[in-house]
Structures are given as C-alpha cells and as structure tokens.
Copies of this chain bind each other. A is one copy, B any other.
Amino acid sequence: MVRGRVIALSVTDVRFPTSSDQHGSDAMHTDPDYSAAYVVIETDATDGLKGYGLTFTLGKGTEVVVCAVKALAVHIVDREFEEIVGDFRRFYRQLTSDGQLRWIGPEKGVVHLATAAILNAVWDLWAKQEGKDPQKLLSCIDFRYITDALTEEEAYDMLKHGKLGQKEREEQMLKNGYPAYTTSCAWLGYSDQQLKELCVKALKDGWTRFKVKVGADLPDDIRRCKLVREMIGPDNLLMLDANQRWDVQEAIDWVSKLAEFKPLWIEEPTSPDDILGHATISKALAPLGIGIATGEQCHNRVMFKQFLQAKALHYLQIDSCRLGSVNENLSVLLMAKKFQIPVCPHAGGVGLCELVQHLILFDYISVSASLENRMCEYVDHLHEHFKYPVTIKKAAYMPPQDAGYSTEMKEESVRQHRFPDGGIWQKLISGQNV
C-alpha cells in the first residue's frame, strides 16, 4: 500500500576518480570520473523505507545537476506519496513542464537528468511499498508529443498482448538471465596488452559479445579491431562505438574501412541529435551489413520517436538516467515494439547496470517477448559500492531478488566519494597540492 508524506529530499555529489586508470575512456570522453547525483527521499511513514535514485555523470558538472535537483525538489517535498504515484502522469508533467523551469530544458540536458534522479528514487520507494500492476503502468506515461507514433490505446493493447507466455518468460529469466555484452575489454585508453589480457579473461568467463571503442585514430582502430576479432574468433559478436566523433560522411568513410572485421553495429557515429544524419549513415552502411545503434545521449521520447520514424537506428539503446526514469523509458520500449526495433540498453557508468536490468527484464517479459538481436550492455566497475549489486552469470544478468530499483549505495561509499569533501577526494586534492 502506498503511504507516507515526503518529508525530505537530499542530494549528494558522488564521484569516483576513474579517469586515473582510463576506465570509461572513449573518443569524446577522454578522462571521465564516473559520478552521480545521488538522491534519497524520506517519508514520515513508520516503515522506515527510503527511496534511492541517481543520475549518472562524468565528474565536472555533477554540481550543476545537484543544483537542478534542488530546484525541482519543491515539487515533491511535503507531498503525500499517494498523490505523487496515484496520478504519476500528472506528477511527471509537473516536474517536466514547470512554467519557469522548462525554459532551461525543456526535457533535455541538466534538468532532465535531475528529473531522472528524482523519479528513479520515487520508483525505488514505490516498488518497495507495493508490487506494480502492469495496467497501472500506462498511467505513468506522458504521451504528449508522441501520439502520432503511439496512442494510449495501442500501448494498452501491447501490454495486454504481452501477458501471453509471461509466466514462461519469467521462469526462463530466473533460470538463464538476460543476455549481456561486455564493454570492459576495450576502452580507448587501454594498451593492446591490457586489451588482450582482458579478452582472454572475458572469454574464459563465458562472454560472447564484445564492444570496442573507436573513432580517435583510424590506423589505431584497424589495429585494435583486428586484434579483438582475432582474440574472440569469427563467431562471437563484435560491436563498435564511436561516441559521436564523426560528421555524417566521415562516419560512412571511416566505418567502411572497419567493415572487414564484421561489426554488428556502429554506435553513436555522429551527433546524438542528428536523426537524419543517422538515417543517411544507416542507408550507406546497410550493404556492408553494419547496423546503427544509438540512444545513450538521446535526450527524450520525442527524439526516440523520430529515430524510429526515420529508420535511423537498428538497435535502440535506452538509458535509465537520461530519460525521465521508468515513466519515459516505458513509452520508448512500447514505441520500439511497435516499430519492431530491438532494445539493447546502455549501461555501465555508476549504477546504470543496477537500474537498467529492471527495464530490460520488463521489456522481455511484458513487451518484446523476444531475445532476437537483443542484449544489455555490461561494464565490470563500481558495483561494489551498491547494496544490491547486479548478479552476472555466464554473461547474463540474473533477475534481482530484492524489492526496489537496486539504487541504494553503501553509506561508507557515499561518505568516501562525496565531492569535494569525501575522504578519497580530500586525499587526491591534497596530493595535487603537494
């Protein structure tokens, strides 16, 4: 049962100094410190339950997202939780369409990341308070601006249809988990030696799908792709990720030169905003058998709608922290189903794996009912800081067993990594000053 009045929202700037080892490095983000704006909401209910949420960031700028969370907090603090989730669509729109705040978005960039952090915490708490009725899920979606692609009635029919075989798919997931691919082997800043060792280890652990970062230097890319393809053999899957490095024609030319390594997809070949550009690249690369993947920086459902309408992608990569939480991701899962495009979520970062596993399991069990061409990203970093970390078995995400959205971080981790006053940062900062 939904209960309590929200009495407090706290937000913390948590940063991990990952740039020192080049974890997470790619052609555009050369020195990321994986970070999060971490939100905790409390109610006055006697159950002691709290809601934990976060949005992922790369270090600098986390303080800006924290500032935005504080600006949005007026919409949630001092309200009955029942009032929030009881008419979740209305609440979603209050957050995203505040008459003054929407100007600095709308529904994009910093304010939308802040919206995601808050809503992720709401979902975490709600899920702990009660099980979800899939029917009720529809009432969480803001269909504004997408009714030309998906109406509420169509969405209802899809979810109803999705009930067929649901029990079998649940059992299948509990037994085998959801297929994953790894990005941990081939960050751009890793040496060839490091790359080889990581491939050997990953193969031993049962991984069959591998992603390689490209886009900084063509001869380098050729050498690294060759190396990885040799390591993993002809039957395992290879994906490429350029992190928005190229212009449209440049992307076509560059990727054509990597075609011999048989990549399944090229991810983020150009600006995440360039729907028509992606469509052009898609057309040009189709004869080479290379698909287009994008979405981790696709900023809202209106953009995803157009990517689908324009046939600009073959693999849709939702992000649990850039879109407006479960609410907006649901609308994207349903649109992907309608356009028959597989969803292959973006994960890694801080907590993204923990969050997105819920979405992709729901997608399989209740929406897509298919594993064809589908897999979820996995990166082997920073899970130790979470109270309910993901469980990976034989390169698959095993369904989480605890109630909630798996977002709670360990208190000690937050204390140590709080920026700039946590122990880790105090040490680093004083080290720099020496």
Q: What are 11 inter-chain pairs, A to B, with CB distance below 8 A? A: A28-B99, A57-B100, A59-B100, A64-B64, A64-B110, A65-B104, A106-B272, A144-B247, A145-B277, A273-B299, A273-B303
Residue from B99, B147, B271, B274 in contact with A31 in the complex, judged by beta carbons closer than 8 Å = B99
Contacts of A30 in B (CB 8 A): 99
A388 to chain B minimum Cβ distance, whole angstroms, is 25
Residue from B59, B108, B248, B275 in contact with A299 in the complex, judged by beta carbons closer than 8 Å = B108
Q: Is A101 positioned at the interface, with any CB of B under 8 Å from its CB? A: yes
Q: Is A259 positioned at the interface, with any CB of B under 8 Å from its CB? A: no
Q: Are A101 and B71 in contact (CB under 8 A)?
A: no
Q: Is A167 positioned at the interface, with any CB of B under 8 Å from its CB? A: no
Q: Given the interface contacts A100-B59, A145-B271, A273-B300, does A110 sit within 8 Å of B249 by beta carbon?
A: no
Chain B residue at smallest Cβ distance from A309: B276
Q: What is the bound-complex CA distance between A418 and B71, given in angstroms?
A: 17
Residue from B57, B100, B113 in contact with A61 in the complex, judged by beta carbons closer than 8 Å = B100
Q: What is the bound-complex CA distance between A71 and B109, given in angstroms?
A: 15
Q: Which of A255-286 contact B (CB under 8 A)?
A: 270-277, 280
Q: Given the interface contacts A99-B29, A276-B309, does A111 sit within 8 Å of B64 by beta carbon?
A: yes
Contacts of A273 in B (CB 8 A): 107-108, 145, 299-300, 302-303, 306
A342 to chain B minimum Cβ distance, whole angstroms, is 22
Contacts of A392 in B (CB 8 A): none
Q: Given the interface contacts A110-B109, A247-B148, A299-B108, does A102 sit within 8 Å of B29 by beta carbon?
A: yes
Q: What is the bound-complex CA distance between A135 and B147, given in angstroms?
A: 46
Q: What is the bound-complex CA distance between A31 and B102, given in angstroms?
A: 12
Chain B residue at smallest Cβ distance from A276: B306
A303 to chain B minimum Cβ distance, whole angstroms, is 6
Chain B residue at smallest Cβ distance from A103: B58
Contacts of A60 in B (CB 8 A): 71, 98, 100-101
A311 to chain B minimum Cβ distance, whole angstroms, is 11
Chain B residue at smallest Cβ distance from A35: B100
Q: Are A29 and B247 in contact (CB under 8 A)?
A: no
Contacts of A194 in B (CB 8 A): none
A32 to chain B minimum Cβ distance, whole angstroms, is 6
Chain B residue at smallest Cβ distance from A249: B148
Q: What is the bound-complex CA distance between A107 and B270, given in angstroms?
A: 13
Contacts of A111 in B (CB 8 A): 61, 64, 109-110
Chain B residue at smallest Cβ distance from A69: B64
Q: What is the bound-complex CA distance between A310 and B270, given in angstroms?
A: 18
